[in-house]
Structure 1
Amino acid sequence: MGGRTVRVRLNVDTGLDRDGVDLDEAVAEAERVAALPGLELVGLFTHEGQAHRGASFDEVKQLGRQSAAGLLRVAEAVRRAGLPCEEIAPGATPTAADLAAYPGVTEVRPGTYIFYDAMCMETMDLTPADCAVRVITTVVDLPTRDRVIIDGGSKTFFNDQMPQWGRAYCLEYPALRLEKCSEEHGHCQWTGDGTPPVKLGDRLTWIPTHVCPVVNLFDQLVGVRGEQVETTFAIAARGKVK
């Protein structure tokens, strides 16, 4: 690296059980990182994605605080070992606003917050009006009295689901559950009374359950204000996984 020093943070697992070093091993790992040439340890980070498992928004925030507290305990132990640990950075959308004011946290790293999605509606007590992204589909078949087929399948919607509405929340008819997808078709089950009040050719508007991978399925986003198209945004990372 030509004598350059790179500032790095240590990834700590605070409960998601995905990546990062365990809490009880973090100090020893910090010492190993600090001893490596060309690296300067400046802090810790985590992704407290387990907060999504909270049964209420209060419980979501509590899970986030537990994660931040664990990260701060590690930071204090790292400092006692004689190492710098200035930057403390948890990161998850449902905990971000709460942890931004948590004593000792220097940065929050939310991602979905730029759009919000139907999962956030459930975990954060949001409404559809809080969510920015819409996917518009067309009804292409009505095979039975309680099923609706749309022209958006697995190439349009990601496979994360919520029990109430499936892979996406239908703005016009929340009782229409997008329960499974083939490549180019979405299979919707009507869970309301009577029959679904839709006909062939109707446009249906959806808020994705998990917006992040859905955005990556498209080449561009269309920016709309009111009824007016104002701009388009190219999806810069589209097709970059190699």
Structure 2
Amino acid sequence: MIVPTMAEMMAQGKQPEVLFWVGSAGSYDDRAKKITRAFVKILQQAKVDFAVLGTEESSTGDAAKRAGNEFLFQMQAIANIEVLNAYEIKTIVTCDPHSFNTLKNEYPELGGKYQVYHHTQFIKKLLDENRLQIDDKKLKGKQLTYHDPCYLGRANEVYESPRDLIRKLGVQLTEMKRHKSTALCCGAGGAQMFKEPEKGDKDINVLRTEDALETHAKIIATACPYCNTMMTDGVKFKEKEDQILVKDIAELIAESNNL
């Protein structure tokens, strides 16, 4: 799988339609890399002219900001903005809601103004423009529930594009009792991903997994690499890993289209 970098594209005098911001999880976490590959296959099938920054991409600074280190956040953000602006980037798409929220809502005041899409929004756009089709046969009738990522849902009110894609898969979508604006956090946000949870009766990811299990779904769909990790750990804690799959929406679409 060959993905061009911005440096390579610019050396050829080309400006891609969109920059794919891979994000820290999508670059380094073995599980999240599968989501990255699935989305790249979708972009390639739709013949989207895209590139990545490669080694020039750094952390957006989201985790530093949520942990209270504003100085480190601004250092990371300004360094990224200098790179993005040097390449005259106009449109960015990312699979990570944390990166999506930071690039979309927090970079503009530091000089980084871009049109930013979450990958579910961009895939929906490709469908609307008839650049992509989804085969609804492979997963037809499968029982599925969807977990709303906090930084996609409540933070940016992106509720429908993921669900529109799920419905096109031909699955039976059953909502959890807490969904959309009332969805329970998976426990990874606010830099909590990188520390042990506070003591309580149950870890929050286990509570959220129990919400999912109550729907009797066989697939838990996510739209965030961190949510994917937390829900997968919750399924393992409940000893249901042989019965329940946790998949990103991009993975489900790629599998349905035999990519």
Which TM-score band applies after superposition, normalised by the shorter structure? 0.3 to 0.5
Larger CA Rg, structure 1 vs 2: 1
**More helix as a share of residues:** 2
Which one has more relative contact order, counting CA pairs under 8 Å at least 6 apart?
Answer: 2
The TM-score normalised by the length of structure 2 is 0.33
The TM-score normalised by the length of structure 1 is 0.35
